[in-house]
Amino acid sequence: MRLLVSVRSADEVAAAIAGGADIIDAKEPERGSLGAVDAATLRAIADSIPDGMALSVALGDLSDPGEVTRAVVDIDGITRRPRELYAKVGLAGVGEPRPARRALEAVTEAVRASRLQPDIVVVGYADYERAGALLPDAVTAVASDVASRGVLLDTWKKDGGDLFDWLSPVELRTWLERSRHQGLLTALAGSLAGPSVRDAARLGPDILGVRGAACDGGRWGVVTEGRVRELAAAISGAGTRPGSCVKATSG
């Protein structure tokens, strides 16, 4: 299992890596649960990570296709392609499988036409009714249909609750198993902190994502080495096996 830490600037990268982050995720929390950073910030973040480090980039939700399109273009501004490069696309505002599939196909075409060709990770929401999004199992099906690299289950609205306020451990484990059976990389996030980090880790996703728990001052604060180190230790001590995935990473 790998720890993903979301950063909003290059200034936070060193602390995340020193604390034990395996994946750096570029995201602007002021723009929502999957807000994209601007092009200059993304280049600075990418330039700050060492060779061999994985980079994830939030593109936004398909309820704002213009934002997603702009973010795909911004990825090509990165100076050098990381060994692993992921682009996260959310499904807020797209509550039916057919339009979700069409929208994701359009994103996939744009990504394949791009210079750096990141692997797409489709983001579903545990609070899908509030997000106007697909049910988690439908997210898996659509992601598999459009040959995405993986799926992430997050929370859409950041209002003090976490992933387990919306789905039980049994429901989450079942979703992870079904997604992995489809050959998808699996990830969990959603305002995880304290005991919920360990609870999520015990479910065995391939990746566990955090922002607020890695910061002094919550998700709008600043990532610190100490907080990331505590999270890495909690995951390491959760006693889980790494998730297995079938599809090979491109690039």
**CB of 68 closer than 8 Å to CB of 107:** yes
Catalytic residue among 88, 157, 158, 247: 88
**Residue that is written with structure tokens 């992601």 in the block:** 143
Catalytic residue among 27, 157, 158, 247: 27
Query: Which is it for strands 119-125 and 150-154: parallel, antiparallel or unpaired?
Result: parallel
Residue 88 annotated among the catalytic residues of the structure: yes
**CB of 25 closer than 8 Å to CB of 57:** yes
* Residues with catalytic roles: 27, 88
